[in-house]
Amino acid sequence: MTTREAKINLMGLSLPKMQAFFLELGEKPFRASQTLKWIHQRGVTDIDAMTDISKPLREKMKSVAEIRLPQITQEFRSADGSCKWIVQVESDSSVEMVFIPEAGRGTLCISSQAGCSLDCSFCATGKQGFNSNLTVAEIIGQLWWANQKLAGFGVKPAQEWSEDGKPAQNPRPVSNVVMMGMGEPLLNFENVMDALSLMMEDQAYGLSKRRVTISTSGVVPAIDRLKDFTDASLAVSLHAPNDELRNELVPINKKYPIKELLRSVSGYMEGLSDRRVPVIEYTLIAGVNDHRQHARELAVLLKDFPCKINLIPFNPFSLSDYRRPSSSSVSNFRQILHEAGYTVTVRTTRADDIGAACGQLVGEVGDNTRRSQRYRDAAEAQKGNEQEFAVEQRSETAAEVTGKRFSRADNLAIEIDRPRRPSV
């Protein structure tokens, strides 16, 4: 007999995998599109509700498959319309997703991993260490849930018209997805690629490639492979204008330095069929990477690299001694880049009221002094350690991670369309 655990989760099957599933059952591949529409467009999680599929076939499907979603354990709604949900995943840890409504679009920031192995010095998720890769169902399930929840709140579809001026197919509250929640999406490559394909699949969510953004800290070999799997938009977490500083902030830079990273990103962008440019993300940390000289250096670094720049004022959290820069230093930094010819956006802080709840969630972890001490010890030990950085996903024990919830700012001031002409 098939056990519950052994059943295939249809929530996580991309179109080709769903087709293979039906072929395996001895059925026609068109059943795959039907099933995707039921799950992702009509929000059905009960195979018996798929009324255009015959009862015998539904029985056959049920004997080997089911539709399983991650659980939402907490919900926060801001007065400005933003929402945040805490999502429990199968590894028994929690991740978060955030919805930010803006004029003409609704952006969902989703997570790809519980925790992250890359340990960027300014990132709460990095302090947690790595716990698990989310499954395809857990990644796409975030989008499924957000659309259901938002529709339930009466949130209207944000995108009534597609880019070619035709009415959008199946418009829903979430019109844009950014993979900027917890985790490094390119270290959960296969699952993220399948989830992206569902986001962009007409039979599922039908989001355009301009409206789905992968954010990466720079896993170069994965960026090099990306074009064979997707044509989603790309955001690159740079955070520093030179290798010396970036090595400190984004340790993966020791393995894949800036020059290699920019070369790899250019390769991906050049392979796209349109003239999209990547977004360079730059978290501004007071006294660390926010000097005028850094802005000038960044302008020179990127002069032959078509891109847009998104400045993100650092969001403080309890395990970090870094500070948020003053608004004048953010605006000076922005001005220097702007004068150099770049299109620059600055992340505006949204959802202050649920941001307070967000701080409390970080606090849960901040109170874990044993962990925070361990982190400091590890940081000290690392200083004297000249070993080459390796992209390893260090896993904490379930007991260490279970029930801990992390939170981070919503870095969603992302627009990816107009190229810029630098004049440096």
Residues that bind ligand SAH (CB under 6 A): 122-124, 180, 184, 215-217, 237, 281, 283, 312, 314-315, 317, 408-409, 411
- Verify whether residue 96 is a known catalytic residue: yes
Q: Please indicate whether residue 358 is annotated as part of the active site.
A: yes
CB closer to ligand SF4 out of 83 and 214:
214
CA–CA separation, 188 and 154 (whole Å) = 33
Residue 130 CB, nearest approach to ligand SAH (Å): 12
Mask for 126-165, x = binds ligand SF4 (CB under 6 A): x---------------------------------------
- Give the number of residues in contact with ligand SF4, rule: CB under 6 A: 11
Outline where DSSP puts E strands in 162-299.
176-179, 212-216, 233-237, 279-284
Give residue for tokens 């605006």. 331
Q: What gap in Å lies between CA 420 and CA 73, rounded to an integer?
A: 42
- DSSP lists the bridge partners of residue 72 as 87
CB closer to ligand SF4, 125 vs 159 = 125
Among ligand SAH, ligand SF4, none, the one that 411 touches (CB under a kind-dependent 5 to 8 A) is ligand SAH
Whether the CA torsion 82, 178, 279, 292 is positive or negative: it is positive
CA distance 83 to 81: 6
Active-site entry in 83, 96, 123, 281: 96
Which of the listed partners (ligand SF4, ligand SAH, none) does 128 bind, with a CB threshold of 5 to 8 Å by partner kind? none
Q: Under the criterion CB under 6 A, does residue 123 sit at the interface with ligand SF4?
A: yes
Q: Name the residue whose CB lies closest to ligand SF4.
A: 126
CA distance 100 to 181: 13
Nearest to ligand SF4 of 35, 289 (CB atom): 289
Q: Binding marks (x or -) toward ligand SF4, 235..264, rule CB under 6 A?
A: --x---------------------------
Instruction: Give phi and psi for 298, each to the nearest 5.
Output: -65, -40
Nearer to ligand SF4, 89 or 123 (CB): 123
The distance in angstroms from the start CA to the end CA of the chain is 68
Determine how many CB atoms are found less than 10 A away from the CB of residue 153: 13
Single residue of 183, 313, 355, 366 touching ligand SF4 by CB under 6 A: 183
Q: Which CB, 19 or 128, lies closer to ligand SAH? A: 128
CA distance 284 to 39: 41
- The answer to whether 184 contacts ligand SF4 (rule: CB under 6 A) is yes
Burial class (CB in 10 A: 0-12, 13-18, 19+), 305: middle
Our finding on whether 116 is near ligand SF4 (CB under 6 A) is yes
Handedness of CA 276, 311, 139, 354 (dihedral sign): negative
Q: Which residues of 381-409 are buried (b: 16+ CB within 10 A; e: fewer)?
A: eeeeeeeeeebebeebeeebbeebbbbbb
119 binds, among ligand SAH, ligand SF4, none (CB under 5 to 8 A by kind): ligand SF4
Beta bridge partners of 98: 84, 109
> Segment 302-331, which members bind ligand SF4 (CB under 6 A)?
none
Q: Confirm or reject binding of residue 119 to ligand SF4 (CB under 6 A).
A: yes
3-state secondary structure of 213: strand
State in angstroms the smallest separation of the CB of 391 from ligand SF4: 11
Q: Which is nearer to ligand SAH, 88 or 216 (CB)?
A: 216
Q: Which range, of 22-30, 45-53, 120-128, 299-307, touches ligand SF4 by CB under 6 A? A: 120-128
Residue 49 main-chain phi, psi, to 5 deg: -80, -5
Joined together, the tokens standing for residue 107 give 């952006």
Q: Report H helices in 276-349.
A: 292-301, 327-339
Work out whether 194 is an interface residue with ligand SF4 (CB under 6 A). Answer: no
- 234 part of the interface to ligand SF4, by CB under 6 A: no
Pick the closer one to ligand SAH by CB: 256 or 317.
317
Nearest distance, CB of residue 312 and ligand SF4, angstroms: 10
Catalytic residue among 83, 109, 120, 358: 358
Enzyme catalytic residues: 96, 358
Residues lying near ligand SF4 in the complex (CB under 6 A) are found at: 116, 118-120, 123, 125-126, 183-184, 217, 237
